[in-house]
Amino acid sequence: MRKAAFLAAPLALYLAAFFYAPLVYLALEGARGEGLVSAYIEALTRPEYHVFYTRSLVAATLATLIAGALAVPPAFYAAYYSAGKEKMLVVVLMIAPFWIDVLLRALALKVLLRLVGVGPGFGAMVAGLAYEVLPLMFIAAYVGAAFTPRNMIDAARTLGAGPLQAFLRVILPLSAPWLAAGAAISFIYAFSDYTIPSLLGGTTGYTVGTLLYILVLEGDRWGVGSAVAIVVTLATMAGAALLFKRVYRVEAGW
C-alpha cells in the first residue's frame, strides 16, 4: 500500500497543481466583478451562449464519429493483419499529423478544401475537427486492438466465425473501453477547439472556444468566461463518466 501511494504521489501532485487547482481558481474567478451567482446564471441561461454550446456539441459529435469510422479499420489492420515494417508504416502515417503544428495543419487543410471547391462553413469545420482528432482515435483503437487476446480471435475463427463476425463479436466489444476513451478525448478536444473553427468555420465557426475568446480576451469578462469554462468542463466530465459507465456495463454483460 505504501509503495503504491509512493508511486502515485508524483502524478497526484501534478494533477493537483495543474488540473484541480486551476479549476478551483476558475470557479472562484466567477465571483470577481459580476458575482459568483450572476456569472453562473448568465453562463447557463443566456440564449446567445446556447447557440455556441449547441454548435460545439453537434460539430464535436460529428467529428468524433467521422474520426472513429476512419481510424478503426486501419488501427485494427495494423494490430492484427500487419507485421514488422508494414505495421510501423501504418502507425507512423496515422499519427504523423501530430508532429506538425495545429495552425499549419489547419491552414493546409483550408487551402486543400478550397482546391476541391469547399469554402469555409460548418462542413469544412467538421472536416477539420475530424482531421484534428483522427490520430487520437487511431491511437486508442490501435491500443485496444493490440490488447485483445489473439487466442480469442483464433477461437472465434475456429468455431466458424468469419472476419466480420470476429470483428463484431470479439474485437469490437473487447476494445470498447479503449474506443470510449479515444471518443471521450476526441470529443472534448473538438468541443473546446478554437483554431479550427476560427479558420474553417466561416460564419458558423462560433463555438465554445470562440465564446471564451470573446468573453475573456475581447470583452475582459473574466468572471463569466470562467463560469462558462467551469460549466463546459463539468458537463464534459459528466458525459465522459456516463460513457465509461455504460461501456463497462455492456462489456460486463450487465
Residues 6+ apart with CB under 8 A from 155: none
Asked if residue 3 is part of any domain, the answer here is no
Burial 125-137 (b: 16+ CB within 10 A, else e): bbbbbbbbbbbbb
Look at the chain and report how many structural domains it folds into.
Answer: 1
pLDDT tens sequence across 32-63: 656 667 778 888 888 888 888 888 899 999 99
Asked if residue 76 is part of any domain, the answer here is yes
Residue type (1 letter), 176: A
Average pLDDT, the chain: 80
Percent of the chain's residues with pLDDT above 70: 85
Cα-based angle 212, 237, 128 (whole degrees, multiple of 5) = 55
Asked if residue 239 is part of any domain, the answer here is yes
pLDDT tens sequence across 60-92: 999 999 998 998 888 888 877 777 777 788 888
Residues 6+ apart with CB under 8 A from 254: none
Asked if residue 124 is part of any domain, the answer here is yes
CA end-to-end distance (rounded Å), the chain: 31
| pLDDT at residue number 242 | 78
| Closest C-alpha to 225, from 207, 213, 237 | 213
CATH number of the domain at 199, please: 1.10.3720.10
Q: In this model, does residue 109 exceed pLDDT 50? A: yes
- What is residue 19's three-state secondary structure? helix
Asked if residue 145 is part of any domain, the answer here is yes
Range of the domain at 164: 49-252
